[in-house]
Amino acid sequence: MATRIHPSAIVEPGAQLGVDCDIMAGAIVTRHCVLGDRVVVHPYAVVGGDPQYLKFDPATVSGVRVGSGTVVREHVTLNRSIHAGGFTTIGENCFIMASCHVAHDCVVGHQVVLANASLLAGHVSVADHTFFGGAAAVHQFVRIGEGVMVAGHASITRDVPHFVMVAERDDVIGFNVVGLKRRGVAREAIAQLKLAYHEVYFTPGNIRNVAANALASGRFPAPEARRFLEFFSDGKRSFARARRAAADESNAS
């Protein structure tokens, strides 16, 4: 099907739109954008606007890439990169609800959901299958792992590893069992993840070293468990920490 550009929408010359896109009334898609197939941009969203960075030179050639099947709801802002040749990137089949903000140089994976008014600061990375509750906010340069569930109104200033749930201010409150089951992850892998989670978070010592030792032990062969442990070997920020109450509840389940 042909791409539809509704009355009063603005698509600047130079923007690249895929097949069967729907740019609704009042939406703005700047010349800095590359949209995949079937992307929907709702009224008054601005895709590819200049970054909110005081030293930014508007003459910089940079952009925003939005993957196929992604829906951008009303009043969303997706800002372009501050770096020449750089892109802010949104993956495929994402759902970005009303009034969300994705700042410059973010990298958002596939099938990510940002509920209303979620805010990602500059240089944030979000892996696939992650869900943000409404009004969650993420500090610049933070990494959010795969399959994470971020609670509404959470304030995230530290890296969050794969497959966990995080709430309040950097509080890991367990791992995302429901999300893993919905994605068809094997029971054995979930059991290994549970053990790896408890070893990393409730073994005394440096969390990076604990994770590295657990990985080297060979006790966690499931790919999901290994990916969880490998997360701690990367990044420059500290890590979100688990509540002891979450561990007690998980042990009882």
Catalytic residue numbers, as ranges: 104-105, 122
Structure tokens at 29: 């898609």
CA distance 104 to 78: 8
CA distance 138 to 126: 10
DSSP string, 153-220: T-EE-SBB-TTEEEETBTEEEEE-HHHHHHTT--HHHHHHHHHHHHHHHHSSS-HHHHHHHHHHTT--
User: In residues, how long is the chain?
Assistant: 253
Backbone angles phi, psi at 51, to 5 degrees: -70, 155
H helices then E strands: how many in the chain?
A: 5, 26
Alpha carbon of residue 184 to chain centroid: 21
Backbone angles phi, psi at 154, to 5 degrees: -70, 150
- Tell me which amino acid residue 106 is: C
* Pair 146, 163: CB distance under 8 Å: yes
